[in-house]
Amino acid sequence: NAQSWEVQKSKSLTTSFEVFPPNDKVGLEQVYNCLDVLSLEKPDYISVTYGAGGNTKGRTVEIADRIKRQNGVEALAHLTCIGAKREEIDRVLENLEKNNIENILALRGDYPIDRELEQGDFNYARELIEHIHEKKGNKFSIGAAYYVEGHKETNDLLDLFYLKEKVNAGVDFLISQIFLDNEFFYSFRDKLEKLQINIPLVAGIMPVTNAKQIKKITELSGCTIPKKFLKILEKYEDNPSALREAGLAYAIEQVVDLVASDINGIHLYTMNRPETAKKIIDATGIIRHE
C-alpha cells in the first residue's frame, strides 16, 4: 500500500519535522512561520501532533492541509484514539481524505492527568490501526510509535510483543519517542530484526537546548539522560546560551552517528521553532539540495 511518499517505504534516509497545533493566534503565526522556514529545506514530510484533548485537536487537519497546499510538503497527521468514539475518529478520517492528506501517525494518546476521560471505543493504537484499515482499506499510509527504552506502562518484553501485534495490524513505518543515547536504539533495532519487524525505523530526535525542556522530557517519556549529557547540563546550568550551543552540538553528533549506522529516517521535534532544526540540517547535510 505504497502512498505518495514512497521514500519511507524504500528505506532510504528520510528527513522530517514535527510541529504542534498551538492554542492561540500568536502561536498560530509562530507555527506558520516555522513551516515557511522549514519547508524551504525540502523535508520528506512534516508531521502535526494531535492535541491531548481540548480545542487544539481540530487544528491538526487544518495545519496538515496548510503544509500540503501552502508549503508544498507531504503532511503526516497524528491521530490519537484514547477516549474517542468511532464516530469522532471517522469524522477526522473523512476530513483528512477530503484534504488529500494520506499519512497518519496512529497513536493511543496519554491519559490526561487533570481530568477523567470519557469512555471511548479504543484502548490501544492497534485498535485504531485496525479501524482505519477496516474503514478505509489502504487509503492511508500508517505510521506508529515505538520506544527504544520500552514504554513506561509495560515491561520491555511485553511492550515488544504488543509492538509486533501493532505492526502486524498494518503499519508502514515507526517513529520513536525521543532518546538521548543511541545505544538504546541500536539494541532495540537488533531485537526488532529478530522479531522480523522489517519496516522503516525513524528516530525522533529532540535537540535539548534548555534545562526546563530536559525536565519535561524525562517526566513525560522517562528517557535516560546519559552521563555525558548530565555533565553538559551541570556545567552550563547557569549559562543558557552555552547550554543551547552544547545541546545543539549533542544533537548533531547523535544524528551523524545514526546516519552512519544506516537509520531509515531522522524526525526532528521542532517545538514550533525552526532555528535549531535548520542548524542541524545545515551541520549534518542530511538533506541534499540539488
Closer to ligand FAD by CB, 243 or 267: give it: 267
Q: Does 182 bind ligand FAD (CB under 6 A)?
A: no
Q: Does 250 bind ligand FAD (CB under 6 A)?
A: no
Q: Does 50 bind ligand FAD (CB under 6 A)?
A: yes
Task: With H, G, I as helix, E, B as strand and everything else as coil, classify residue 79.
Answer: strand
CB of 132 to ligand FAD, least distance (A): 13
DSSP for 134-173, written as a single string = HHHTTSSEEEEEE-TT--TTS-HHHHHHHHHHHHHTT-SE
Binding residue for ligand FAD (CB under 6 A) from 43, 151, 184, 277? 151
Per 3-state DSSP, what percentage of the chain is helix, strand, and coil (rounded to 5)?
45, 15, 40
CB of 240 to ligand FAD, least distance (A): 27
Q: Does 121 bind ligand FAD (CB under 6 A)?
A: no
Unique residue bearing C-alpha cell 546519559: 226
Task: Give the total of residues touching ligand FAD (CB under 6 A).
Answer: 24
Residues 189-248 that bind ligand FAD (CB under 6 A): 204
Closer to ligand FAD by CB, 52 or 211: give it: 52
Binding residue for ligand FAD (CB under 6 A) from 32, 58, 124, 259? 124
DSSP for 173-238, written as a single string = EEEEPP-S-HHHHHHHHHHHHHTT--S-EEEEE----SHHHHHHHHHHH-----HHHHHHHHHTTT
Is the Cβ–Cβ distance between 270 and 276 less than 8 Å?
A: yes
Binding site for ligand FAD (CB under 6 A): 49-50, 52, 78, 80, 105, 107-110, 124-126, 145, 151, 153-154, 158-159, 162, 166, 175, 177, 204
